[in-house]
């Protein structure tokens, strides 16, 4: 990993490591980066400095965990990064939820892939929305 990654590239790289997903959308990463940076600027900046420090080889997840154990502000940003990728929402410092900003973000939640259902407590539409699968997953209804 290069030491001079820009923040968008570093966010995408750390997101891949945190989520375990290698195929993450760069445009969505940019949106999520901006959303999280607006709320957790210091923690996110600190988190992004971890990318070059943990290297490219071996057990990167274990090295990242050790690094996060020593950086509490970055650990919070890491948890919220995971949350936003899986649910398209994250928790604000005052414990309110910042929901998906668009239907595209809601549909892109990785939780769809994991449990084949929308994120719990996410209400992206009117009553009955759950009868429709996002189009990226095939048939609109079953």
pLDDT tens-place string over residues 63-105: 888 999 999 999 999 999 999 999 999 999 999 999 889 888 8
Query: Rounded distance, CA 34 to CA 127, Å?
Result: 30
pLDDT above 60 for 46? yes
DSSP state at residue 119: P
User: Which of 74-113 are b and which e, b meaning 16 or more Cβ less than 10 Å from the residue's Cβ?
Assistant: bbbbbbbbbbbbbbbbbeeeeeeebbbeeeebbbbbbbbe
* Bigger pLDDT: 53 vs 40: 40
Query: Rounded distance, CA 118 to CA 101, Å?
Result: 15
Residue-range domain boundaries for the chain: 7-137
pLDDT above 60 for 124? no
Confidence of residue 56 (pLDDT cuts 50, 70, 90): confident
Query: Rounded distance, CA 62 to CA 115, Å?
Result: 25
Confidence of residue 43 (pLDDT cuts 50, 70, 90): very high
């Amino acid at each position: 990993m290069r030491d001079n990654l820009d923040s968008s590239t570093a966010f995408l790289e750390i997101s891949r490591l945190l989520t375990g997903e290698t195929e993450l959308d760069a445009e969505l990463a940019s949106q999520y980066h901006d959303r999280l940076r607006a709320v957790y600027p210091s923690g996110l900046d600190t988190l992004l400095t971890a990318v070059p420090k943990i290297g490219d080889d071996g057990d990167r997840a274990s090295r990242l965990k050790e690094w996060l154990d020593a950086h509490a502000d970055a650990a919070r940003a890491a948890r919220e990064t995971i949350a936003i990728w899986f649910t398209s929402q994250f928790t604000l410092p005052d414990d309110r939820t910042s929901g998906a900003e668009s239907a595209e973000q809601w549909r892109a939640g990785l939780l769809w892939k994991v449990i084949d259902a929308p994120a719990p407590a996410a209400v992206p539409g009117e009553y009955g929305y759950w009868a429709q699968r996002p189009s990226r997953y095939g048939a609109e209804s079953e």
